[in-house]
Amino acid sequence: MKTGAAGENLAVKYLENKGYITLERNYRFHHKEVDVICEKKGVIVFVEVKSNTNNDFGEPIEKVDRNKASNIIDVAQAYLLKRKLFGKCNVRFDVIGVKNEKIQHIEDAFRK
């Protein structure tokens, strides 16, 4: 299994164990994508998952830059509009880093 897919699977299990309900995985809008869309206590959470298996390239969460965050926000807006939820629910953007099967979860990692 590729590192990215394995990391996403671990992240989804982690989130579900924390009480999140997975709504979508690998949701696409045009050429942009968000890895996981989930919900907990009425909050829709868009989650970017980054994985690596060694220390050569820093921590996985460091890979989420402003451009990536902007893309995730675009996908989130499209998702919410399509489901007629835009402006009707609380939204949060999280980042999960997976490194050697250890998870680092940053809630509310960035904002619109």
pLDDT tens digits along 19-42 = 999 999 999 999 999 999 999 999
pTM of the model: 0.92
Q: Which residues of 34-46 are buried (b: 16+ CB within 10 A; e: fewer)?
A: bbbbbeeeeebbb
pLDDT digits (tens, 9 = 90+) for 59-75: 888 888 899 999 999 99
Task: Please determine, for residue 1, whether its predicted confidence score (pLDDT) is greater than 60.
Answer: no
Q: Does 3 have pLDDT greater than 70?
A: no
Domain 3-106, classified CATH 3.40.50.11750, yes or no: no
